Amino acid sequence: MALRTLPGLYTGEPLSWLDALFTATSAVCVTGLIVVDTATYFTTAGQAVVLLLIQIGGIGMVTFASLIIMMIGGRMALHQEMLTRSVAEVAPRVDYRHLTRNVVRLTLLLELAGAVLLYVCWVPRFGWRGAIWPAVFHSVSAFCNAGFSTFSDSLMGFARAPHVLLVVMTLIVLGGIGFLTLEELGLWHRARRARRSFRLSIHTRLVLTTSGLLTLGGWLGLTVFEWRASLADMPVWHRLVNGLFMSITPRTAGFNTIDYATATDSANFLTILLMSIGGSPGSMAGGLKTTTFALLGLLAWCRLRGLEFTTIGGRTVPEATMQRAVGLFVIVFGLLTVAIFLFTTSELPWVSQLSRPSGFLPLMFEATSAFNTVGLSMGTTHDLTGFGKVLTTLLMFLGRVGPLTFCAALAARRQFAARQFRYAHENVAIG
């Protein structure tokens, strides 16, 4: 626990073991929930340690996630037969052999570009030297969808700086869209320049379409809900940019330009829905994932039309993939439901004694944010009890590692399951 033992990381007393564990988990799981103010509690060295944990967690988990995507449904040579062929099923033209190298290279390249742009935006405010560290920190934090900030109010101080918000939003989207999608888009662009035909995979098209629709829908809803509330004192252009930012940051970056404790219930509930869906597979983002959400919607639509198979874009999605999507949704829904119940039983009795919004919604917001590694809060995190902090730490870990482990377990047992016998059928009434 470097955050607890290394000297020179704090401006005052060191973190307790529980708070150090909470902060380290939040950084490695690229969540962004904090129990202390990153801007004032940590020295520059302490912030650098937090940033290193974010970078390690972001690159490590996204590499693992991309490999898991390629494992499912594929096969490997010799004793690991399941790894190589699934590229042809998910992203046919992506070279899996160079995946890890490309993930690291693309991550560092985009973070460097983001840092340069933020530096240019912040030089007038912080000076030539003072803008360096905030630019680097926020570029890495935004691309890794972490949500940590060196400013005490996150990005609320830049709510009227649309150029800053646009840079941060771009980094969040690029970090949350998935490296398989980015790789395939790069191949598509090169093919277009060479005037060659190139067909984007169903995976990439589903990611782009779902992400676009969720962003536009969230933008419209959140802008309308907050137009006369938290955005009321802003010019029209700033309201629109902040509404777009509020739509993008729940998926799952964690930066905020408004105080969610004062936002309308409609906006906060819509934010909860966006946090639950999250980003795309093989990305820095958490959540259920856009493709899982889209496949569940397609499954329902096809069944309502009386179709036996789930189809999209002239292709049929394998039944095994649909079963994994349904299974993942059930597990995520069940875990989150239990977590919200535990929050209400452990934290709700203390609400009347704390200086934060009372009631059920802030606790539901907190649990959803933690499990989906978002980092947004209605002001609840600082006032959590010891049990609440432990529960939040566990939720961040499970939300980041759990779904991947679930998918990996399904992939690893696929061949074994294929050899299992089947019992006789017997129907069950539903509805």
Per residue of the chain (431 residues), give pLDDT as tens: 566 667 788 888 888 899 999 999 999 988 999 999 999 999 999 999 999 999 988 887 666 655 555 555 443 333 333 333 344 455 555 555 566 777 888 899 999 999 999 999 999 999 999 999 999 999 999 999 999 999 999 999 999 999 999 999 999 999 999 888 888 898 888 888 888 888 888 999 999 999 999 999 999 999 999 999 999 999 999 999 999 999 999 988 999 999 999 999 999 999 999 999 999 987 888 888 999 999 999 999 999 988 888 988 888 998 888 988 898 899 899 999 999 999 988 887 654 444 445 678 999 999 999 999 999 999 888 888 889 999 999 999 888 876 666 666 655 555 455 555 667 777 787 66
DSSP 3-state of 35: coil
Distance CA 59, CA 104 (A): 7
- Residue 353's pLDDT is 47
User: What is the token pair recorded at 199?
Assistant: 């067909």
Rounded to 5 degrees, what angle do the CA atoms 361, 293, 285 make?
A: 75
Contact (Cβ atoms closer than 8 angstroms) between residue 3 and residue 11: no
pTM: 0.88
- Residue 399's pLDDT is 87
User: What is the token pair recorded at 388?
Assistant: 């609440």
- Residue 197's pLDDT is 85
DSSP 3-state of 50: helix
- Residue 286's pLDDT is 86
C-alpha 259: how far from chain center: 20
Distance CA 150, CA 358 (A): 28
End-to-end CA distance of the chain: 51
Distance CA 30, CA 15 (A): 19
Rounded to 5 degrees, what angle do the CA atoms 155, 381, 287 make?
A: 75
- Residue 383's pLDDT is 82
- Residue 76's pLDDT is 35
For the chain, the structural domain boundaries read 2-413
Q: Which helix (H) or strand (E) holds 130?
A: helix 99-130
